[in-house]
Amino acid sequence: MAELTHFDAAGAARMVDVGDKPVTVRVARASACIKMQPATLTLIRDCGHKKGDVLAVARLAGIMAAKRTGELIPLCHPLPLDSATLDFAFVDDETLGIEATVRCTGRTGVEMEALTAASVAALTVYDMCKSVDRGMSIEQIRLEEKEGGRSGHFVRS
């Protein structure tokens, strides 16, 4: 197992020095699922919620979150992102799938940005729909793929 890079030799937290790392294209894809009542998913799919287009708002929230990840995660580097996209899928009659893809050209990866985007998009769906379904469950927030950097290409099997 690799060492934990966010701690120094004495065990104190530190921001990793990436100054000597090469600038490369970095891409990460993360996902989340939200389980809900079928009627809630229908409201979302048909844009029938009184608050408006839930997925449009969740998409914007996810993009904004990706851009601000360095402010939210204490030891995460602030990165100039090249792109951040969010896609939604109606997996079955009670599951909304969320996929965030983030890209930058830099010295460190964008896994945290993709995970943050998927998480905040899911939280936004919950916030907008909690008045009709408090029992929603946000599940399986996870990294699906990452490219670039010293550790190479990762794809969840």
Handedness of CA 70, 108, 86, 60 (dihedral sign): positive
Q: Which of 8, 82, 87, 127 is the catalytic position?
A: 127
Handedness of CA 116, 77, 81, 64 (dihedral sign): positive
Q: Is 82 a catalytic residue?
A: no
Tell me which H or E stretch contains 102: strand 95-106
d(CA 132, CA 151): 44
Where do we find the tokens 């943050």? Answer: 116
> Any idea which residues carry the catalytic annotation?
127
